[in-house]
Structure formats: structure tokens, C-alpha cells
Structure 1
């Protein structure tokens, strides 16, 4: 694949992470500081926005930096009885 295509995909960060690397991955995609993304998530959570739910959903949908498939896709493949290849 083209290197520009790979760099423009949402992926969880492998290096800039506290929990699952979701905020770090979003920050890398948007080319902003990851602490800014974390701050926005916390502020939205305090104002009634379900930041925890969004974070968990993003964790399931976004593949890790070194993987091809997301956790949700691997769970679905396992449920269907298909091998969960990377």
C-alpha cells in the first residue's frame, strides 16, 4: 500500500498511550498534541457527553498501530469461526 494511505488511517498509537492508545492515535491522525485530545475527551465527559463510551467504542473499532484488524473485527471473526489473522 501507499505510505500516505497508511499514515492517514485511524490507528491506536503504539507509543503515545495511557490506556489503549485511542487519544494518541486520534492525535497522530489530526496532527495535534495528544494531551489536547485527552483534555477534550475529559471536558466532553464532564458536560454530559459519554466520553467513556466513545473511548471504548473507538478502542474496539480502531486497529492497533501494528495490526490490520480492529478488536471488534477479530471478535466478529472468532464468533463466526474464522481465524483471526493479523
Structure 2
């Protein structure tokens, strides 16, 4: 069975991007969210915020993903 990167419907805070990414990578979503917040500060907020926003539009929801 092949994993597919998709936004999470059950583990979401904003758009479900980090919840879906955590499921794809296999780590806890809370750890990934903390890492994301920590990385927002040294990168100047906008690069990671833009990537998150783009992934929110590009990644399909779990139900829409082809399994």
C-alpha cells in the first residue's frame, strides 16, 4: 500500500496540512507543529507561511485523495 500526502480531516488546526504531513512522515502532529512554530521565527515568518498556504490549496483532503 502506497502512502499519499493529503490534508487531514480529523487532525487539523487550520487547514490540516501539518496533520496530513505528520501522518505521511509517521511522527506525532504536535511535534511537527512545535517544530513549525519554532522555524517560523528564524525564517522571518513569511517563507513558511507561504509554503503552508500553498500546500493548503494544492494538497487534496483525505476523502479526495486516490487510495
TM-score range, shorter chain: 0.7 to 0.9
| Structure with a larger share of its residues in helix | 1
- Higher-RCO chain (CA-CA 8 Å, sequence separation at least 6): 2
Q: Mind listing any 5+ residue stretches in structure 2 that lack a counterpart?
A: none
Gaps of 5+ in 1: 70-86
TM-score by length of 1: 0.68
The TM-score, its normalising length taken from structure 2, stands at 0.85
Matching residue of 2:14: 19
Aligned equivalent of 1:41, options 36, 44, 57: 36
Structure 1 stretches of 4+ with a deviation exceeding 3 A read none
